[in-house]
Amino acid sequence: MTKLLQTWRWYGPNDPVSLQDVKQAGATGIVTALHHIPHGEIWPIADIQERKAIIEAAGLTWEVVESVPVHEAIKTRRPGADKYLANYNVSLQNLAECGIRTVCYNFMPVLDWTRTQLDLEMSDGSKALYFNWTDLAVFDLYILEREGASADYQPAILAKAKSRFESMDKDALDELRINVLMGIPNEKEIELEALRASINEYKAIGFDGLRDNLTWFLNGIAETCTQNGIKMTIHPDDPPYPILGLPRIASNKDDLLYIKNSVDQAFNGFCYCTGSLGAGMDNQLVDIFEAVKERIYFLHLRNVTKDEEGNFYEADHLGGDVNMYEVMKAVTAENAKRQSPMPFRPDHGHQMLDDLNKVTNPGYSAIGRLRGLAELRGLEMGITGQ
């Protein structure tokens, strides 16, 4: 039986976690992207080759691109989208020419991910990422001041948000604003007025319109992907429900099946993220995997613990609400049928031990992910015997 391919997300030469750290953690493959290239611009072959050479010089391989960002012009299909679609095709072709053919991307409007706290302290003193509906409502109602926002929250949440806002000082409000906006790609600053404008643009597009735009995008790259053997893997929404008035179209089994069937070609696949999908109150993780498993080309394995309101924090990889044992059984059974192993990475990890004193990308400190990778490797071996 072929083992899963163990990979590690690396943010490039400026990542405080080095490639030597990655090797010591036990991963063999790298998941990275050219973050210095502005969104929508072509990824030059020279830049791809330079990054690949750095990785290979460390004795590792570049297995997955995460991600080639989809420009907002494509997601909204505003004027100029054709240019960005053409650029995307050239970037994909350049990656394939360099031997990199698995690409992770998302189709989330504006925000790639959303958390309201980046340092929730666990009982053991480690720190985790956290999403809280009351805090999001504080941001939405009192910082962003989105028109009509109150209609999107339960009365109990609105009451708690009002009380919490009244107890927060300027520093606390600034921290909340920074945390929520951390999900803006490239970590760039965005004015709240620009965010309001984007939200209004997506309000006009709506759920069905965003679906149509994804189908247009997939049809627009289908020939390039098929000719070059590229596998596209869409990442589920994080979190998997509408927030701030923005539509979400990759949040549950029905969404993934729609995406699969909308452009029913082999290149059109999924990144199976147990953390993002696991944050959905009604999502059944193994059922979702079984529904689309033949199109799953990349795995993010992490865990979350939810409460009755739907607030969640990122738990230990083998803790939380996601039954990782059942997930791993399904994953290894599918992997055994494949000629090439499925790449997975330990997604996120607690900030712990020596990393508590370091500045790292949220969720991407070294030691918490090392622990997660070790636990997942052990779980796989316990199931497969190898």
**Cβ-count burial 28-65 (b if 16+ within 10 Å, e if not):** ebbbbbbeebebbeebeeeebeebbebbeeeebebbbb
Q: Using CA atoms in the order 44, 49, 51, 55, what is the torsion angle rounded to 10 degrees?
A: 160
**Amino acid present at 377:** R
Tokens of 374: 């070790």
Q: Is 161 in contact with 116 (CB distance < 8 Å)?
A: no
Burial of 11 by CB count in 10 Å (0-12 exposed, 13-18 middle, 19+ buried)?
middle
Q: Active-site residue 364, yes or no?
A: yes
Catalytic residue among 237, 255, 347, 355: 347
Catalytic residue among 104, 225, 271, 273: 273
Determine the Cα–Cα distance for residues 290 and 286; give it in Å rounded to an integer. 6
Catalytic residue among 235, 271, 316, 350: 235
Per DSSP, the three-state class of 160 is helix
Determine the Cα–Cα distance for residues 9 and 203; give it in Å rounded to an integer. 33
Q: Active-site residue 235, yes or no?
A: yes
For 246, phi and psi rounded to 5 degrees? -95, 135
Q: DSSP string spanning 191-237?
A: -HHHHHHHHHHHHHHHHHHHHHHHHHHHHHHHHHHHHHT-EEEEPPP
Evaluate the omega torsion of the peptide bond into residue 239 and state whether it is cis, within 30 degrees of 0: yes
In 10 A of CB 140, how many CB atoms? 22
Q: Is 74 in contact with 68 (CB distance < 8 Å)?
A: no
Q: Active-site residue 237, yes or no?
A: no
Catalytic residue among 300, 316, 350, 355: 300
Closest among 276, 288, 355 to 320, alpha carbons compared: 276
Q: Active-site residue 300, yes or no?
A: yes
Catalytic residue among 130, 135, 140, 348: 348
> Which residues contact residue 290 at a Cβ distance below 8 angstroms, ignoring those fewer than 6 apart?
330
* Residues labelled as active-site residues: 235, 273, 300, 347-348, 364
